[in-house]
Structure 1
C-alpha cells in the first residue's frame, strides 16, 4: 500500500490546532468526537498517543500541547480500537474498529487494509489487545488472532475459528512464555506450542477444571516474570505455575480491565484503582481522585499515564494528576445538530428504526468559541447538570425570549434560558397537551418568527401542537397517518409541512394551513411523490421546498398551490434523470449562496449549485476526511459557513467558504489575518453583501485581485492576477454596498 508523508506525527505540531479554534481556515476539516473514554495508550518519540472511544489524539511532552489526529492528518480512519508501539521496529501500530491498520514511523504512514477488505471475515473486526514479540504484533480480535509482521509490513497469518470443533471464538488478549502462546477467550485460556500450525484449532488446548482455573470467561493474559497471569471477572487474578493455576489472594477486586507488565511490576486496572504487584506477589494500590475507570497504564520514566474511561488521559507529568484529553463532545451517539445564537447544539438520542425509544441519556453539547460544553445527568467532571431526558431528537430557539427548547422522544421537552436555567414540559405540566399522559415522544420542535412554538408529538391523535406567545396551547390533527409526525417545516405562506413516518398508513407529508383550516396529506397517489418515505425537508432562499426521499429528490416550487386538486410535486433533473435517483437522502441544508447540500444514508454528501446545473462536490470517506458515509444531519453555521456533519460515527465539520450575506459591512471579518509566510490556504472575507463584487488593492490603490462573493463570503489565495504570491504589506478590501458604492471594508496584513 502507498506510504504517506506525515511530518507532524514524530517531529512537530506544524499543523494548527483547528479542533479547538473558534474558526478554521477555508477548506479545512475538523472532527468533534468524545475523548473522555480513553481505551489505550502508547509512548513514542517523546509523545503520548491515546485511543479514545471514537478518536485518536497525541500529547507532545516537549511543548505540552495536545493535538487531535484524524483523516485530515493522513490517518486511514477515524475510529481506532487499540494502539501499541514496537521499540524494536520503532513503529506505532494503530488498529481501527473496521480492521484497518496503520503503521507510523519515519515521517510515513503505511496502511495495511488486508483485514478490513477480507470478505472471508465477517462481523466485528475491532482489535481487543496488541501483544508484540520478536518484531511480530499479535492482534487479538473477536474472530481470533491476526499476526502482523512489522518488518515486512504485512499480515503473516490469521488464527481463527479456534473454538471446539473449529467454531468461531473471540480472543480478548494474547501472550507467550518461552515457546507457548496463551489466549484469553470466553471459554477460558487456550494454549499451544509455537512450533505447531496455530491456524489449526486442533493444535490448541484448553486448561480444564483440574488445572485449578475456574471454567469461566477469561478477560486478560500477560507474561510477568516468565509466568502467565490471567484475570477472570467475578473470580480474581490467577497465575500459572507448571500446569496448575493459583489464585492471587492479595487482589480482592473481581472486575478487571487490563493486565500489563511494566519493568518488574504487574499493573492491574480494576474499578477506580490500579493494583501494582511485585515479583513476590505483594500489592500496592495506585488511587487518585482523577482515576475513575482505568483502562490501561503507561509508565514513562517517573511519570504515570492512565487511560481512563471517565476522565480521559490523565497523568502526574506536571506533578499532580490532571487530564490531558482534548475538549470534545460527550459521546458519539449523536442524532443531529442545530444552529442558534452563534452556537451549535449537538443532540445525543433519536429513535430506533421502528420508532421506539433508545433510552440514551447522554444529553446535549453546545459548541461555542471552539469549545464544547456538555449538559446531562452523569455527574462527571466538567459536565453541567441538566434535567433527566433520554433520546433528544430536536432543538429550536426563540431569539426574542433567548430560549432554547429541546425535544425528547419519551420525556417531553426541556428549555434553557439565557442564564442557563432549565424548565421541563412533560406529563406533569398542567395546562399543556401533555398533562396526564405518558411516554411523551417529541419528534420535532420549531419556533416561528411570531413567537409561537410548534411541537410534533409522535403516536397521538392530536400530533401537532402550537404554544402561542401568550403561553396557551392549541392542538391539530387530520387523519390516521398524521399521528406519526417526524419533522416540521414552515413555508413563506405560514403553511406547516409535517414529514410523516412511513407506517402502513403511507407516510408522505401532511400540509396544514393552521390559520385557514386547510389540510392535505401528500402521498404517491395524490401528489406524484416518487417515494412516500420522506426522510428530509428544507426550504431554500427562493421559497422552494425540497423533499429528500428513500429514492431521490422532489421539489415544490409554489407551495401556495399545494391545496389545489391537481397539485403535483416536481422532480429536479440532473444528468438526464431524477436528482439522486435511488439514493436515500437523509438531510438537506441550504448554504448562504442558496446551494443545496444533500446528506445520504450510504453515499456521503452531494453539493449542487443553486439551480442544480452543476455538481459542485461529493464528499465521501474515500476522497475526504469525512468520518462516515452514513449522514444523519447537516447544519450550516450561517456566519462562518462551517458545515457540521452528523454521522453514525460522530460529528465532523468542514468550512467550505460560503456564508449568509450581511446587510452592512459592520461585521466584516478576515481570516487568517495577518497572513503568515508559510500559509498556503485561502484567506476568507466574510460578512459581505450577497454575491458582492470584491476588489483587493495594495496600499497605493493598485488592483491586485478581484472576485465575487459566494453568499456573504469571498476568498483570496494571496496571489495576484499573474499567480505570484502577494508581497509583504497591507492590502485593502473594497466591496459594493446596497447603493452600489465601493467602500473599503477591511485590511489584510501579509507578512
Structure 2
C-alpha cells in the first residue's frame, strides 16, 4: 500500500496536473437538475450534471458537491464511474479530458493524454464509457478503446479496431470469459478479442461477432447482456444473440451493478437479477414531469437520474414513490443576466442573439439566491413572460423587482411573486407595428429618485421612464438620430443613468447614444472619426469620476468628458494605452467585450466573449487579475454578465456554463463612519494573518469596514507611535507599490506590518479615521495577540 501511495505522489508531480482548490475566495452556483450519468460505490451514489458532480451518502443522507471551485474543469461531462478498489471517481468529458478525484484527499488529477492527442480529431475524443477490470480501465471513445492503468496512473495501449485499423465509435466494452467485447455504432457491430493476445493494437486480432448497431454491453456474473439499436436486449450465448425482450423505446442506459442489471428507458427503469428475473420497476408520473436519463442500484433502492429533477430515489411507497435528491442550485447553468444587491442574487435565462433577435422565444423561469438557498421560479408562475432578461431592483423597495421581457414587455415581481406584466395595453410600452406584437424590452436601470429607465427596440420612442410611486410613464423619441426605427437599429443592450439628465445607451447599429432627458437633446458616437472601433456597442459603465467606459465588439474605449458631450461639436473617445514589455499597447484591443462593471473602489471588471474576465485598476493601467477557465473556477471563458454586491464586495460572473462569484473585498463606501468596525478583533495567534503580502487576498489581513468615500486612517500603538497610514484613492490594494495598508472603497486592509516592514508586537492598536470631506472622525481599537 505504501508503494502505491508513493507512486501516486510521484505521478501527481510529473506529467499530469493536480487541480487547485479555489474555495477560499470563490463560490460556485451550479445546476444539478439535469443528470448526465450516475454511479455508486462505498455507500454513496455519484451523479454528474452538465459540468459538476454531487455525492449522496445513502446512510447519512449527506450531500456534497464537486465543481470548478474544487478544481473540476467545467467542461461538459459525458460519463463517470467509481472504483471501490482504488477509492476514486473517474470523470470523462466530451472533449476527451479525464479527471480523477481521490477520496483520500479530495485532490483532482487531470489526465490530458486523449485531450491533447493531435493524431485524433477533436470531434472523436468523446469519452463514452469506463469499464474497470483488474486495475485497468477500458475507455470507450468515438475513436476506439484506450487503456488506463489505475495502479500506475498512466495510459497503456489504444485499440483502433475498425476495418483496416480505422477509428470507429465504441459505446461500451465488457470483459467476459477472458475476452473483451466492444459494442459499436455505425454498423460496426459487436467486436471481440482475447485478453491473452499480446497484440490487440493490431485490428486484425479483433473479430466481428455480429453486424449491426449496439449501444450497450454489460457483464453480469456468468451472463453477458447486449442491447441492440432495434430496442432488443439480448443475452450473448456462445457468441450468438439470444433475444430476451423488446422495449417500447430504446433504453438510454444499461448498467450492471451489485449483481443486478439496471435498464433505463425515458419513462421506466427495470431492475433484473443475473438470470433476468425482473425484481423492481419505476416509472415517471405526471407530478414530476421529467424524463429518466440513467440509474443505479444500492441498498434496495433504485437511484434514477433525470433531465430536470436531479436524482430520484425509489421509496416503495405507492402514494409517494420517489424522494428527490437535489443540491441547492439554480435551475440552469446558462444565466443570461444577473443582478446582485442586499445579499440577494437574481438570474434570468431568456436570451436574445448578439444582433437582438429573440427567436426562438424562451419559456424559461428565473432563479433567486437568498441566504444560501435558491428559489427557482418556473415559467408558468411568471404570467407567461418569455425571454426574460435584464433585471432592475427598486432601490427604495428591494423586494420589488422589474424584469425585462424581450418579447412581452416588463414583468413586475413583489416578494418573488409575479404581480403585473406591463405591455402595450396597460402601460406606456409600445409594439413596433400592429402586426408585430412583440415588445422587445431589454436594458433597464433605476435612478437615484426611484424612477425606472428602460429601452424598447424597434419603436420611435425607445427610451421610457416609469415612476412606480405615481404609476406614470413617459417616452422619448430618437427620430432625430434614427429615422427608420424598424430597420436602422437592431436593439439597445445597456443603459446608464448619468448626471445632469444624461442617459447613456449602447446600440447595435448606432454606437453610444447620449440622451439628455432634461433638454431632449441626442447625440451618438459610432464612427472612426470619433475613434470608435465599431458601431456595435455591447457594454457601458460610468465611474465615480463621471467617465464613461465603453465596451464594443472590437475593443474598449473611454469617454473622458461626459459633462460637455451634448454641446461638444466633435466629441471623441480614447483607447487606454498601456506599456507591455516596454511597448505601448492598446488595452483589450479587438476584444469582444460583453460587460463592464465598476466596484466601490472604481476598479473595472470587464467580461469578454472568449477571454474570461479582466480586473483593472481605476485608470486601466494595471491588471489586478485576469481570470480564465485555466487559472480560476470560471467554467467558461465566455462571460454573459457581471454583477457586484456593493455591500459585500462579492463579484458574480455568469458564464455560458455556470455561475461563480469572487470575494474581491471592494465594498461600496458608506455615507458616514457610524458603522465602521474592525475584524477580526481580537486578532488571535491561530488567525495567521500578520505579515502576508497580497492585500488582494481578503481572507487575510486586519480589515476595517464601513468607511466613507474619502478617508485618511492612521494606525498607532497605545503610546501614540505611528505604525501605518493609508488614504483613499492613494494607497490602493491594486498598486504596484505593495503597501502594507491600503483602502479599497469602503474597506481597508492592513497586513500587520509597520513602516519598516516588520510584523507588529502584541498589543492594542488604534485606528484613527478622518473623513477628508466632512471632517467626521472615529477611533477604533484592535487587540493583536501574537
TM-score of the alignment, normalized to the shorter chain, above 0.5: yes
- Work out whether residues 516 and 522 of structure 2, in 8 Å CA contact, stay in contact via their aligned partners in 1: yes
Query: 2:544 aligns to what?
Result: 541
Counterpart CA distance in 2 for 1:206 and 1:409 is: 56
Query: 1:494 aligns to what?
Result: 501
Query: 2:452 aligns to what?
Result: 453
- Work out whether residues 101 and 113 of structure 1, in 8 Å CA contact, stay in contact via their aligned partners in 2: yes
Segment of structure 1 superposing worse, 298-307 or 508-517: 298-307
Q: C-alpha deviations, 1:361-395, integer Å up to 9, x for none? A: 332211222222211237xxxxxx33333332211
- Closer, same or farther: CA 553–448 of 1 in aligned 2, 3 Å: same
Counterpart CA distance in 2 for 1:699 and 1:69 is: 47
Query: 2:370 aligns to what?
Result: 368
Q: C-alpha deviations, 1:500-534, integer Å up to 9, x for none? A: 22xxxx54223323332322232224522123232
Work out the number of aligned pairs and report it.
714
Deviation at 1:589, TM superposition (A): 1.1
Counterpart CA distance in 2 for 1:714 and 1:165 is: 68
Q: Does 1:134 align with 2:134?
A: yes
3-state SS of 2:563 partner:
helix
Deviation at 1:591, TM superposition (A): 0.9
Segment of structure 1 superposing worse, 739-748 or 254-263: 739-748
Query: 1:463 aligns to what?
Result: 462
Matches within 5 A, 1:248-287: 248-249=244-245, 252-287=247-282
Unaligned 5+ runs, structure 2? 1-9, 690-698, 726-740
Query: 1:518 aligns to what?
Result: 521
3-state SS of 1:531 partner:
coil
Deviation at 1:35, TM superposition (A): 1.5
Q: C-alpha deviations, 1:653-702, integer Å up to 9, x for none? A: 11011110112344446666787836664254432223544567899999
Q: Does 1:149 align with 2:149?
A: yes
Counterpart CA distance in 2 for 1:56 and 1:167 is: 34
Matches within 5 A, 1:474-623: 474-478=475-479, 479=482, 480=484, 481-501=488-508, 506-563=509-566, 564-575=568-579, 576-623=584-631
Counterpart CA distance in 2 for 1:293 and 1:726 is: 64
- Work out whether residues 32 and 49 of structure 2, in 8 Å CA contact, stay in contact via their aligned partners in 1: yes
Q: C-alpha deviations, 1:64-106, integer Å up to 9, x for none? A: 5433323443445565332212234443312234322222335
- Work out whether residues 555 and 588 of structure 2, in 8 Å CA contact, stay in contact via their aligned partners in 1: yes
Deviation at 1:642, TM superposition (A): 0.7
- Work out whether residues 505 and 540 of structure 2, in 8 Å CA contact, stay in contact via their aligned partners in 1: no
Query: 2:700 aligns to what?
Result: 682
Q: C-alpha deviations, 1:520-577, integer Å up to 9, x for none? A: 2322245221232322111111110011123322111122333332211122221123
Q: Does 1:743 align with 2:778?
A: yes
Query: 2:238 aligns to what?
Result: 242
- Work out whether residues 4 and 74 of structure 1, in 8 Å CA contact, stay in contact via their aligned partners in 2: no
Query: 1:392 aligns to what?
Result: 388
- Work out whether residues 385 and 421 of structure 2, in 8 Å CA contact, stay in contact via their aligned partners in 1: no
Counterpart CA distance in 2 for 1:74 and 1:475 is: 50
3-state SS of 1:472 partner:
strand
Deviation at 1:328, TM superposition (A): 0.8
Matches within 5 A, 1:120-131: 120-123=120-123, 125-131=125-131
- Closer, same or farther: CA 128–377 of 1 in aligned 2, 3 Å: farther
Question: TM-score, with normalisation over the residues of structure 2?
Answer: 0.80
- Work out whether residues 140 and 173 of structure 1, in 8 Å CA contact, stay in contact via their aligned partners in 2: yes
Q: Does 1:443 align with 2:442?
A: yes
Counterpart CA distance in 2 for 1:223 and 1:316 is: 25
3-state SS of 1:561 partner:
coil
Query: 1:311 aligns to what?
Result: 309
Counterpart CA distance in 2 for 1:124 and 1:426 is: 49
Counterpart CA distance in 2 for 1:145 and 1:429 is: 63
Match of 1:714 among 748, 758, 775: 748
- Closer, same or farther: CA 41–457 of 1 in aligned 2, 3 Å: same
Deviation at 1:113, TM superposition (A): 0.9
- Work out whether residues 158 and 199 of structure 1, in 8 Å CA contact, stay in contact via their aligned partners in 2: no
Matches within 5 A, 1:59-458: 59=56, 65-77=62-74, 79-105=76-102, 106-107=104-105, 108-119=107-118, 120-123=120-123, 125-159=125-159, 162=162, 169-178=168-177, 179-185=179-185, 187=187, 189-194=189-194, 195=197, 197=200, 200=203, 203=206, 205=208, 207-208=210-211, 218-231=214-227, 235-249=231-245, 252-287=247-282, 293-301=291-299, 305-315=303-313, 322-356=323-357, 357-377=359-379, 385-400=381-396, 402=398, 403-418=400-415, 420-426=417-423, 429=426, 432-434=429-431, 437-458=436-457
Counterpart CA distance in 2 for 1:710 and 1:622 is: 27
- Closer, same or farther: CA 351–421 of 1 in aligned 2, 3 Å: closer
- Work out whether residues 500 and 518 of structure 2, in 8 Å CA contact, stay in contact via their aligned partners in 1: no
- Work out whether residues 467 and 474 of structure 1, in 8 Å CA contact, stay in contact via their aligned partners in 2: no
Segment of structure 1 superposing worse, 110-119 or 717-726: 717-726
Counterpart CA distance in 2 for 1:549 and 1:450 is: 30
